[in-house]
Amino acid sequence: MNPVIVLVRPQLGENIGKAARAMLNFGLTEMRLVSPRDGWPNPSAGPAASGADIVLEKAQVFETVADAVADCAHVYATTVRKRGVTKPVVTPEVAASDIRAGRGRAAILFGPERSGLETDDVALARTIITVPINPEFGSLNLAQAVILVAYEWSKGAALESPPMTDLDPPASQEELEGMIGHLDAMLEDSGYYFPPDRVPTTRRTLRTMLTKPGWSSQEMRTFRGVLSALNGRKRHRSTGDAE
């Protein structure tokens, strides 16, 4: 079964909504709230959830952490701080693997935005989840913490990746040579190639640059259009000067 996400004393409705969005992105839908500071439902949660309404609609509210996890056989506490509690410490990846392999419901606790879980909250858990983080700046917001755990869970949840968009087919060698010749003629006409003894090297450098990418036909046509526009502008200026 999918793990339950338990937000302990969350403060802002916006953050509850963002956490719901993070959950649904990775296939999690069951949220439990422990004593949300501003009550529940919270009108600020919906807009922040960006469409993850199913998570908010199903959210349950409890007075204590113990009540929220009473039906769960495995309870994990997320924290980046060292605690005076001797418990196994695992990464989100290991926790996700253990939850999938175990029997019974699992709950993952996330603390309030300002301070995180208190020691008494962590004491209710059997395992601590933590991530390597900059010791000089160990500040994750609530949605970030949820998404780290939810993402690791999703790896084994057989979620489908977003549909791929087919790339344009690569340009033919004829098209590439045509573009290079077009550019070369314009550069020749503009007096770009100077001094004469450097012309072969310059031409070789330009060809190397232009043949590195896998140009698509559309990109080739676009670039040729740019060259034509520049050439047309130059001709217009020359005609104006003559007049």
Condensed to tens digits (0 to 9), the pLDDT of residues 103-123 reads 899 999 999 988 889 989 999
> Which residues lie below 8 Å from residue 19, measured CB to CB, with a gap of 6+?
5, 7, 10, 31, 110, 142, 143, 146
Give span(s): CATH 3.40.1280.10, the chain: 4-154
pLDDT given at position 102: 86
pLDDT, one tens digit per residue, over 131-175 is 888 878 877 889 999 999 999 998 877 666 666 677 677 788 888
Angstrom distance (rounded) from CA 206 to CA 106: 60
How confident is the model at residue 55, as a pLDDT?
97
- Topology of domain 4-154, per CATH? Alpha/beta knot (3.40.1280)
| Residue-averaged pLDDT of the chain | 86
pLDDT of 237 higher than 80: no
Q: CATH assignment of 173-242?
A: 1.10.8
pLDDT at 238 over 60: no
Q: If pLDDT is split at 50, 70 and 90, which confidence band does 84 have?
A: low
At 61, give phi and psi (nearest 5°). -115, 135
- Beta-sheet strand order (sheet of 127-129): 60-62, 31-34, 4-8, 106-110, 74-78, 127-129, 89-90
- Yes or no: say if 31 and 5 are a contact pair by the CB < 8 Å rule: yes
Contact present, 1 and 105 (Cβ < 8 Å): yes
Confidence band of 203 (pLDDT split at 50, 70, 90): confident
Is the pLDDT assigned to residue 201 strictly greater than 80? yes
List where CATH 1.10.8 sits in the chain.
173-242
As a whole-number percent, the residues of the chain with pLDDT over 90 amount to 50
